[in-house]
Structure formats: structure tokens, C-alpha cells
Chain A
Amino acid sequence: MIEDFRGFEDGRTYEADICIIGGGPAGITIARELIGSRASVLLLESGGREYEDEVQALYAGRNVGLPYFDLDVTRLRYFGGSTNHWGNYCGPLREIDFEERSWVPFSGWPITLKDLDPYYRRAQQICALGRYSYGRERWVELGLDVPAFDPAKVLPNVRQIGPQLNFAEAYGPELAAAENIRVLLHANVVNIQSNPTATSVAHLDIRTLEGKRGQVTARQFILACGGIENPRLLLASNGVEQNGLGNRQDLVGRFFLEHPKAWRMALLRAKSPLALVQAYTDRFHDGVHNRPRWRLARTAQEDMKCLNGEWGVGTDADRQGGTIAARKMWQNLKRGRWPDDLGEKVWRIASDLDDVGVNAYREFMLGEEPIPEFQNVIMWSTSEQAPNPDSRVMLGEQRDALGIPRVQLDWRLTELDKYTKASIAKIAAAELARLGIARAKLEDWLLDPNGSWPDVAGEHHHMGTTRMSDDPKKGVVQGDCRVHGVDNLYIAGSSVFPTGGTVNPTLTIVALALRLADHLKPGYAS
């Protein structure tokens, strides 16, 4: 059932076997997995079914490091979490991403790709994606020409882009119908209260924005509030341990990772720029869009001693142009939604009718992906970020409406991150030229070791802040996602990733959530 905490009397205590904090894809997946088990499950969600300004404002914070998205923009605080506006771009981490690499300080997961593989396959379905296939064979399936890049350097890669999948809309009804699941909306967890030795969670304190209070007791607790809020809540739960719960080693909030994205690494020159773009543009196949790209092979990473990286071919098309506006409008209408900024979109379409017409023909008559008009073909790249203890989430001075210290994010990149971008660019440029596909002119910042990072941004992927390690001195959670030293507290979500690879995180979040549910289920078998 799904209920609203605001409708209950003040001061009540709620009991469950398993209490999940946070109703995003991580929390919803675990709850769903426990449907029909003997566990009584209580899922606490801060928001309601719709966006509310006052709830979202609880996410506001301060960026004190590299320029980053506003912290109340880069995530959503209501049922479904950030899947209320995510893109459903998905892919699995690769084998090397789990390994300890001598040239990547703090690398290595306590689990391997093999451990996660069966869960990835299930996650694939949950995220409404196509066949579990992301490499060369996918390129062949898509009918793409696979260039003869040196496989020791560059490998074909794909991102599957599923339909707009809001986890609350898609899976909320199952939770509502389940007898052993209870979802409590507008229930903000404001404190995780441990026993006096901080070895076990005793209860949670919950509040509504209107001031209603309650407590929750459970046998097991799962923190699933996202990669920024998970550490915030642990740090703020400092009644017993003054540095926060699970933070004896001062690791909570540290190692914040993103996927540094450079939209423009190089200008590409080819005989036919349009043909080059068309060759590697999205393909609709198997019920999903597929975006071709390449990734660095293991040997290239080993030889160059760089992080993992991906690159692809794009254009400098005007993102405010008519074709993009028309596509967004069409997608909204197909989902039965009235587009935002309707007037502005109509204006953009009207003032760019030529391009909209050409692309409508391409999409509807030829069945091809639209390619908005562009001046230049470019190489973009997204890469793994080097784990860095100084890149971190902290508590700020100010407090939110519930009295919790607001969050501060100090996002930092290192020389290894920059070196990786330069390595990707050089390898890609050399291979493109070798095969006669294109010539590349690298951006100045890639060739200047002392230069700044002009065009690098995050991707709304918040990882690493409660990292996983079997060594309690090196990680906040152990391999099964339980917090070191706290016997009934688990963490779900990308905050447990010790390294982030290059792929969007949610498929891995869902896979890990399934694995955690499998770990918990035997305790509640009939």
C-alpha cells in the first residue's frame, strides 16, 4: 500500500522487518524484489507523487569546488527519485572497472563483473532495455560498419537508451498492491539513531515539512537516498559518533566521483562530414535507441596508464535549434504530456523550418535519426574519474527547513583525469587518421599540460561517497553493501561505487539493488 505520512497522528512508531529510506530506482527495486517474501517492508519517501517546491528545496546546497549543477537541480526529491527526469541511457561497467589497477590509486571493487553479471541481465529488463548486448555484436545487429580499429586500443561500444521510465509510475502500482509492502510518502528521515556503541541502528526519526514526527524501528535498514544524500544523512546522524554514522575512518562523503564529460575534444575533418555523422548516429533497434561510441581497450589503459574512457562523433548543432525543439515536443506529446515552454518551442521550430523539414523527412520517410544542421563534426568524450579523497560531499553551515545541515559539494579532478582525456583524444585521433576516416584537430587545453579544464562538465552521476571495500579502513560498506561496523545498516545506490567506470550509473545501481535484495531474502524465507 502507498500512504501519506501527513495523514497519520503525530509521534507514532512504525515497525517493519526491513526499512528502506528513499523511493528512487534503488529503493523501489529492493522493495519490489521483496514483494511476496515474509518480510514486512516499509519504504520511506521524502516527497509525494508529484514535484513540490518545498520538498525539492531540501536538496539545495552549495558548490565549493569545480563548477557543477545546482544541487537542487541535479536530482529530484519525490517518489521515483531522479528517474522522474532521467534519460534512461544505460550500459554495464566493464571487467577492468572492477579491478585494482596499480596506476589508479584507490581502485578496485571487492566484487567482480562476474558477480554482477546475472543481476545486470535482470536490471536490463527492469530498465525496459533491449537485448543485453553492448559491444561489437551490437554494432553488427545495428547494421553499423565496424571500423578496423586496433582492438588493443579501441573497441566498439553502445549506450542503450530506453524509454522514459519513471520507476514510481512503472513499479509503484505493484508496491501499492503488495500486502507486505508499505510506502510512506512525505516521510523525511532526519536522523539515523544508532545504539550507544554505534554498532547497530536503533531507530529512524522521521518528519514532515509541517512538523509531524514519528519513529521507525526495523530489523534491517537500507539507505537509498542517492549519491549526495546518502553521505549527508550519515554525516548528519551524529548523535552518537560525532563524525557521523559509519564514518570512523573519515571516508563518508569523500571520493565523490562523476563522469567528466568534454563535449568538444577535437574538430574532425572528413571528406563527407554528413556521412561521418550518419555512420555513427543513433539507431533504433530492439525497442530502444542505441548510441554508438568507442571505448578504450584494456591494453590501451594499461599501456597509457590512464583511466577508462569513451569517445564518439557528434556535431556542434545548435541545441536551441528547431529540430531539437520539435523532437522534444513530439516526444512529450507521444507520452501524453503538454510540452514545457510551448510558445518558445513553437517559435524555435518556426524560425528553423528548413532544418525541421529535412529532418522530419529523414525520420518519418527514411526511418533515420534526425541530424540537426551543424557547422562542425566534433569528437566528444566521457571518462572515468580518478578516485580522490579531496573530492567530497560535506555538511555546510546552513540548515534546511527540517533543521539538517545543507550539503556542500567540493568536486575536484586530478592530473590523471586530464591526462586521461588527452590520452583518449590522441588514441582516437591516431586511429581515425590511420583508417582514413577523419583527421582531428585537438583542442588546445588537451595539449597544454598546465592548461585549465575549459569544457568539462558532470553528467548528474553522483558516485563514490560511501565506497565499497572489504577493508574497513578503506571503505564505508563491505562487498554485500552493509556498513562496516554497523550490523543492520545497508546502503544502496551509486554512493557505494569505489570507481565509476564510464557508463551512466543506474543499470549498475539496479543490479546492485537486486543483489542486495537477494542477500537479504534468505532471512525472510518461508
Chain B
Amino acid sequence: MTMKLTRRLLLAAGVAALLAALKPGRLLARHRSRAGGAARTPTGDRLAAAFTDLDAPREVGRRYLRADPLEASPERVQAFLDEFSDLGSPEALRQDLARLRDRDFRVQDIVFIDGWVLARSEARLCALTVLL
């Protein structure tokens, strides 16, 4: 059964995205070397622990990856992670995410998940919750 994205899920995804930006910086940094791993990694476990509700971003991430499977490639994930200036600093992460979101929306680099309009970076962040 395909799940319709609800407002709650979307808002939760937003919260999760923000949490991802605030909390798991170091985890993401450590993940750099093994991006794209299929099985749940220790990094993934710790990332999951950083979210209050992982269902929503995962659902967004799954849908995003289903629509564009190439986004799961290690190269793409790495390229995305490279967009962050300092994955170790929560403050830098937050600023980077705001910058990426602003850039994506400005150049219309947007994706549609069940009709909802997301910045590509937001969708990629959600995809990480599936991939990591």
C-alpha cells in the first residue's frame, strides 16, 4: 500500500532535516569514507538516534530515491556531503543547509514528493536517512 504523505509527515521531515543539520554532523563526517553502503551502519544507527521521528524523512527519502535511483550512488552522496563546509560543526551545518536550500529554491532545483515542493538538498538529506 502506498502511503500518502500527510502534513504531519512533511513537517516531521522538516524537523528531521533540521535535526540532521544540527546533531549528526560528526556522524556524517565519519561516514564520508563509506558513503553509499547498503546495510544499516553504525553511522546510520547513530543518525537514527538523532531523530525524534525517523519515519517521515525516511518515507520522503525512499520516495525520492525511487523517483531518482541514481541519487543513491556513492558519487552523488559524496558530492552532496562535499557541499557542507564543516560537517563537524552543528552551526556550520545549519548555515550550510539554509544556504543550500536558498540556492536550490532560487534556481528552481526542486523536487516533488507526493506534490510537496522540496529543495533538492532537503530531499537528499532525507535520502541520507535511508542510505546511512
Contacts and interface: CB of A to CB of B under 8 A. Distances in A.
Interface of A: 150, 266, 269, 426-427, 429-431, 433-434, 439-444, 447
A430 B105 contact: yes
A434 B112 contact: no
Given A269-B11, A426-B110, A447-B112, A434 B117 contact: no
23 contacts: A266-B115, A426-B108, A426-B110, A427-B108, A430-B105, A430-B106, A430-B110, A430-B119, A433-B117, A433-B118, A433-B119, A434-B101, A439-B10, A439-B14, A439-B116, A439-B117, A440-B116, A441-B114, A441-B117, A442-B112, A442-B115, A447-B112, A447-B115
A433 B10 CA distance: 13
A431 B105 contact: yes
- Closest 6 pairs between A and B when the two form their complex, measured CB to CB: A434-B105, A429-B117, A430-B105, A441-B115, A441-B116, A442-B115
A433 B114 CA distance: 16
How big is chain B's contact interface, by range? 10 to 19
Contacts of A427: 108
Contact of B10 (A266, A269, A434): A269
A443 B105 contact: no
B108 A430 contact: yes
Interface string B97-132: 000011001101010101111110000000000000
B117 A426 contact: yes
Nearest to B7: A269
Contacts of A447: 112, 115
Contacts, number: 45
Nearest to B114: A441
- Among A269, A430, A440, the one with the most B-chain Cβ atoms within 10 Å of its Cβ is A430
Contacts of A266: 115
A434 B106 contact: yes
Interface string B7-23: 10011001000000000
A430 B118 CA distance: 8
A266 B118 CA distance: 14
Given A433-B118, A434-B106, A442-B115, 12 more contacts: A269-B7, A426-B110, A430-B110, A430-B119, A433-B101, A433-B119, A434-B105, A439-B14, A441-B115, A442-B117, A443-B115, A444-B115
Nearest to A428: B117
Interface in B5-52: 7, 10-11, 14
A444 B101 CA distance: 24
Contacts of B117: 426, 429-430, 433, 439-442
Nearest to B110: A430
B38 to A, nearest CB: 30
Contacts of A426: 108, 110, 117
A433 B98 CA distance: 11
Contacts of B114: 441
B106 A429 contact: no
- Among B115, B116, B117, the one with the most A-chain Cβ atoms within 10 Å of its Cβ is B117
A265 B105 CA distance: 18
A238 B110 CA distance: 55
Contacts of A439: 10, 14, 116-117
B104 to A, nearest CB: 8
A441 B115 CA distance: 5
Nearest to B116: A441
A444 B112 CA distance: 10
B76 to A, nearest CB: 22
Contacts of B14: 439
A442 B106 CA distance: 18
Nearest to B14: A439
A150 B119 CA distance: 16
A429 B110 contact: yes
Contacts of A429: 110, 117
Contacts of B11: 269
Contacts of B118: 433
Contacts of B116: 439-442
A483 B62 CA distance: 62
Nearest to B5: A441
A174 B118 CA distance: 58
Contacts of A441: 114-117
Contacts of B105: 430-431, 433-434
